[in-house]
């Protein structure tokens, strides 16, 4: 099991990552982009997980394996993932966001 120290950037402690909000260091636009990219990353991860839920599922109805169901399933899992990530997700986006901000602040 990974500990908190393995998730931090080099030279930063876990408490440094939690307190990355330093006024005036980064623009609001940079922070908004970082938040958006972090949510996109979480949505991509969730989409991959959701696609595995439908692996090997065959049968009748909208979840069956007939016709263009593969396309429909990919759109369904993508929408599930984006909706969950946008509404708070499972915590991956927050960690990615903190890491992105910490790296940006360290480079400025």
Domain boundaries, the chain: 28-54+68-108
For the chain, the average pLDDT equals 75
What pLDDT score was predicted for residue 67? 64
Report d(CA 12, CA 103) in Å as an integer.
10
Place of tokens 């969950």: 84
Report d(CA 100, CA 59) in Å as an integer.
44
Q: 47 or 27, which is more confident?
A: 47
Q: Please tell me whether residue 54 adopts helix, strand or coil conformation.
A: coil
What pLDDT score was predicted for residue 66? 62
Q: 63 or 82, which is more confident?
A: 82
**pLDDT above 70 as % of the chain:** 66
**Average pLDDT, stretch 57-77?**
70
Model pTM score? 0.64
């Amino acid at each position: 099991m990974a500990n908190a120290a393995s998730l931090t950037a080099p030279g930063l402690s876990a408490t440094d990552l939690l307190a990355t909000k330093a006024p005036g260091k980064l623009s609001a636009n940079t922070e908004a982009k970082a938040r958006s990219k972090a949510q996109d990353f979480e949505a991509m991860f969730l989409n991959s997980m959701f696609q595995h839920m439908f692996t090997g599922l065959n049968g009748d109805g909208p979840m069956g394996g007939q016709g263009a169901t593969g396309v429909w399933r990919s759109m369904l899992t993508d929408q599930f993932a984006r909706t969950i990530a946008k509404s708070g997700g499972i915590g991956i986006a927050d960690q990615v966001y903190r890491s992105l901000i910490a790296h940006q602040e360290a480079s400025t």
